[in-house]
Amino acid sequence: MYLKTLKALLLGLCIAAVGMISWTPNSLAAPGDLDQQVQELIQQNQALTDRLNQLEQRVAEPRATTEPAHAGAESILGHIEDTIHIHGLLEFGAAYRSVDMNIGGHEQDSDLAMTTVELGIAAEVNDWVSAEIALLYEDPTFEDGEDNFEVDTAIITIANEEETPAFLMAGKMFVPFGGLLEHFPDDPLIHAPLALLLGETNEKALLIGAELEGFTVSAYVFNGDVEEAGGGDNVIESYGFDANYAFEDETQDLDMLVGASYISNIAESDGLEEELGDIDSYTPGAACYVHVGLQDFFFDAEYMTATEDFGIGELHMGAASAKPEVWNLEVGYNYNWWRNLEVTLKVAGSDDCEGLGFPRERYGINFNQDIFDDTVFSVGYMYDYYDKDDHADRNTQDLLFGQLAVEF
C-alpha cells in the first residue's frame, strides 16, 4: 500500500515539474533545451516506475509462497474430516429390584451407575480398506466392581461394494451369531436380553463374506479360550456361519430381516465361558431370528440353542447334563407425539439355564422416548420367574429401571 502511495507521489511531482518547466518564460530556457529537459524527466519517471514495480513484486512474493502452505493445511484437515469419524455413547442408569427367594426371605436393592462409556474411531483408509476401534468402559448395576477402558472391537475391513460383493474382516469383533434383537436397554444396566447372554461372542477372528441384493453370508474362524479336556492349546478350531436376508420397501414403509446362524462351540460365548473350565467336547449352537417392521409397528423373534448336551456338571447342573436354549419375542409401536416414543412389550424365556442364572420366564414393558436429537430416555419394568433349581435360589424378581443415553 505504501509503495502505491509513494508511486503516486513521485508521479505527481514529475507532472508538476513538467508543468513548471512548460510555464517558464522563454528568456530562461530555449525551446530546444526545454524539450530535452522534458524527455529527461519522462525517462527518469519511467525508471522510477519500473523500480517501484520491481519492489511491489518482491513484497508480494512471500504472500504467494504462504498461500499454498495454508491451502495445504486446509487440504489435510479436509482429508481428516472426510476419512476419520469419531463416535461415542454414554449411558447413565438407575435400577431398583425386589427378589423373593425360594426358601422364604426377601431382598431388595437399588443402584445408580454410569453403565456404559464407549468411544469409537473409524477411518476410511482408501477405497478398499477401512479400520475401526472401539474402547469400552462398563459399570454394571448391582455389582461392586468397575471395568477400566478396554478394547472392545478393533477391526480391519477390506471391501469395495462398487467392485465386488465380497468382503474380509480381521481383528477383535463380535462374531455374527444370532440377531441379538433387542429394544430394551441391555446389559450391564439390566440382565438382558437372554439371547445376548447365551450367544454374544467377542473374539479375535478372521471373517469372510459377501453381500448381494439384500443377501449376506459370512463365515469365520477363531481360537477361543475354552478348550477341550486333553486338547491342545492355541489351536484355531472354532468356526461359525451366518446367513440373512434384509428387505426394505419405502413405498409401503416395510422392512424385514430373516437369518440363521451356526457356531461350532457355543461355550465360547461371553455369558458361558466364565462359567466353564475345560469341557469334554465342543458343543455347537444354532440360532434363527426375524424382524418385521410395518409402518409404525414392529415384531422381533429369536431362538437360540445348543444343538448337543453339555456334559454332566459342566453348567453347574449337578449330576444332570444340560442343553440350554433361550427365546425372545418383542412387539412394539412407534408413536411420534412430540418426538418419537417407542413402546415395546416382551415375552422371553429359557430352558436348562438355571445353572447360568437365567430366568425361566420373563415379561416386560419398556418406553424409549427421544427427548433431543441422539438423546433417549428409557424407563421400564421386567418380571422374572426362576426355576426351582436356580443357582441363586431365587423365585421371582421385579425390576424397575431407567436410563439416559446420549450418542454422538
pLDDT in tens, 1-13: 544 554 555 455 4
Over residues 159-186, mean pLDDT: 96
Contact status, residue 376 vs residue 368, Cβ threshold 8 Å? yes
Lowest mean per-residue pLDDT among 34-38, 211-215, 301-305: 34-38
Q: Do both 166 and 41 map to the same domain?
A: no
Over residues 197-216, mean pLDDT: 96
Residue 90 maps to which CATH number? Answer: 2.40.160.10
CA–CA gap between residue 300 and residue 60 (Å, rounded) = 68
Q: Do both 260 and 124 map to the same domain?
A: yes
Local confidence band at 22 (pLDDT 50, 70, 90 cut-offs): very low
At 174, which helix (H) or strand (E)?
strand 166-174
Lowest mean per-residue pLDDT among 172-176, 224-228, 276-280: 276-280
CA–CA gap between residue 286 and residue 269 (Å, rounded) = 12
Q: Do both 257 and 115 map to the same domain?
A: yes
Using the predicted structure, report yes or no on whether residue 233 has a pLDDT greater than 70: no
Q: Do both 79 and 67 map to the same domain?
A: no
Cell 430352558 belongs to residue: 351
Contact status, residue 197 vs residue 177, Cβ threshold 8 Å? no
- DSSP class of residue 250 equals T
Using the predicted structure, report yes or no on whether residue 65 has a pLDDT greater than 50: no
Domain termination site, one of 22, 41, 74: 74
Local confidence band at 389 (pLDDT 50, 70, 90 cut-offs): confident
Lowest mean per-residue pLDDT among 266-270, 303-307, 346-350: 266-270
Neighbours of 282 (CB within 10 A): 20
Q: Do both 302 and 341 map to the same domain?
A: yes
Neighbours of 341 (CB within 10 A): 14
CA–CA gap between residue 388 and residue 395 (Å, rounded) = 7
Q: Do both 61 and 88 map to the same domain?
A: no
Our count of domains for the chain comes to: 2
Residue from 364, 387, 405, 386 nearest 192 by CA: 364
Name the region of 280 (left: φ>0; alpha: ψ -120 to 50; beta: rest): alpha
Q: Do both 67 and 89 map to the same domain?
A: no
Cis amide bond preceding 324, omega within 30:
no
Structural domain range at position 15: 2-74
Supply the pLDDT for residue 174. 97
Q: Please compute, for residue 101, the number of CA atoms within 13 A of its CA located in the half-sphere on the CB side.
A: 9
Q: When comparing pLDDT for 140 and 233, which is higher?
A: 140
Using the predicted structure, report yes or no on whether residue 146 has a pLDDT greater than 70: no
Q: Do both 240 and 128 map to the same domain?
A: yes
Supply the pLDDT for residue 275. 72
The cell for 196 is 445376548
Please report, rounded to a whole number, the percentage of residues in the chain having pLDDT higher than 70.
77
CA–CA gap between residue 211 and residue 176 (Å, rounded) = 14
CA–CA gap between residue 100 and residue 58 (Å, rounded) = 88
Q: Do both 287 and 154 map to the same domain?
A: yes
Supply the pLDDT for residue 122. 97
Distances (CA, A) of 142 to 188, 195, 246, 400: 10, 21, 38, 13
Local confidence band at 226 (pLDDT 50, 70, 90 cut-offs): confident
Supply the pLDDT for residue 82. 78
Contact status, residue 127 vs residue 169, Cβ threshold 8 Å? no
Supply the pLDDT for residue 163. 95
Q: Do both 359 and 388 map to the same domain?
A: yes
User: What values do phi and psi take at 362, rounded to 5?
Assistant: -140, 135
* 324-355 confidence digits (pLDDT tens): 999 999 999 999 999 999 999 999 999 998 88
Q: Do both 173 and 295 map to the same domain?
A: yes
Q: Do both 173 and 270 map to the same domain?
A: yes
Domain termination site, one of 58, 74, 90: 74
Q: When comparing pLDDT for 47 and 375, which is higher?
A: 375
Contact status, residue 260 vs residue 242, Cβ threshold 8 Å? yes
At 234, which helix (H) or strand (E)?
none
Domain termination site, one of 22, 40, 74: 74
Local confidence band at 284 (pLDDT 50, 70, 90 cut-offs): very high
Cell 522563454 belongs to residue: 26
